[in-house]
Amino acid sequence: MKNNKNLILYIVGFSLLFLFVVSFIRFVLNINNSSEFLRMLPSIFCYIGALIFILSRVLGFFPVSSNKKVLFDEIIYNLFHKADKKDSHKIPDDLYKRLKKNIRDEEVLTLIASDIVSYCGVDGKDLKVKVKNELVHAAGTFNRNTNEITISLINTRYIDEVLAVLIHECMHFVLRQKGISYTDTLKNEYLTDIACIYFGFGEYINVAYIMIGYLKRNEIKYVKKKISERNY
């Protein structure tokens, strides 16, 4: 199922890329002089932004910056030395089917969260999942004081996004239980995303991380490759 969804994403991505290139060529050919070129600069920057989005977020072809590589390598190194790597994990079919019927079902979301953290070797009996309409600043949150995960009703639209957000928030819980963290907030979020891949949930992350998530698809490819090399 995940491979089929990835194939669909690539088909959509290449289609968008083709339409973008054709549209951009037509746009450039219609520029007649330098003054018109200057007037069209904002539109040109929009085209550049769209190209970067397609190559990085949709197709995952954009190169990863050297600074990000150093950061990701450090995080992967720490994970290999502080936790056992897991093979790919699949959400149980019965729970997936129940969630597909209603992606706001808090009972089944809590059961899936328990399955996720248990696979990572952590007891999740105190973990609860809530869906809230008023959560607008993030797709999800984890409250370390109450062990409650909150999924945003506004910022998650379909089952793949809900699962990716749930897995990410579960990783906050798992990493805390294993004593793995960074004091820098953004660095800690990258750690959490990379841990999703490290603990066997990379395909769920890869499918959904177009509009959400801290890692872009090109960065997910890099992280998966580095983890598979096991040279740490």
What are 3-31's pLDDT values in tens digits?
555 555 566 566 766 676 777 676 666 66
User: Locate tokens 């800690």: which residue?
Assistant: 188
When pLDDT is cut at 50, 70 and 90, the band that residue 176 belongs to is: very high
Looking at residue 71, its pLDDT comes to: 96
Closest by CA position to 166, among listed 111, 219, 228: 111
Neighbours of 155 (CB within 10 A): 16
Looking at residue 14, its pLDDT comes to: 65
Closest by CA position to 109, among listed 159, 157, 177, 145: 159
Q: What are phi and psi of 131, to 5 degrees?
A: -110, 125
* For residues 86-97, average pLDDT: 94
pLDDT at 191 over 60: yes
Tell which wins on pLDDT, 197 or 28: 197
When pLDDT is cut at 50, 70 and 90, the band that residue 150 belongs to is: very high
pTM of the predicted model, to two decimals? Answer: 0.76
Which parts of the chain are beta strand (E)?
Answer: 128-132, 140-143, 148-152
* For residues 95-122, average pLDDT: 95
pLDDT at 41 over 70: no
How far is it, in rounded angstroms, from Cα 190 to Cα 202? Answer: 14
Tell which wins on pLDDT, 196 or 59: 196
